Amino acid sequence: MEHELVTVPDAESLAIRAAGFVAGQARAAIADHGQFGFAVSGGTTPWAMFAELVHHDLPWAAVRIYQVDERVAPDGDPGRT
């Protein structure tokens, strides 16, 4: 995969573009392998992208989302949201 630096004007544009990218990767992985595994950071950072991603028509039964995070916080800690 080649890397391309993309600049967008605001967070909403970034969320929309990121959701489109992820949806495209998901479709390709599902077509090739029957499933798509997606590891995302914890916290609130990816929420806007998730809100856009739900508008994409994907075979959700073939999608697995994994939360990954470098932070360790006990149950009930506000830092786990």
pLDDT, one tens digit for every residue, the chain (81 residues) = 788 899 999 999 999 999 999 999 999 999 999 999 999 887 788 899 999 999 999 999 999 998 887 667 777 888 766
* 43: Cβ contacts below 8 Å, ≥ 6 apart: 69, 71, 79, 81
Amino acid in the structure at residue 21: F
**Contact assessment for residue 42 and residue 80, using Cβ atoms and an 8 Å cutoff:** yes
User: Which structure tokens are listed for 49?
Assistant: 């992208």
pLDDT at 70: 67
pLDDT at 41: 82
Model-level pTM? 0.80
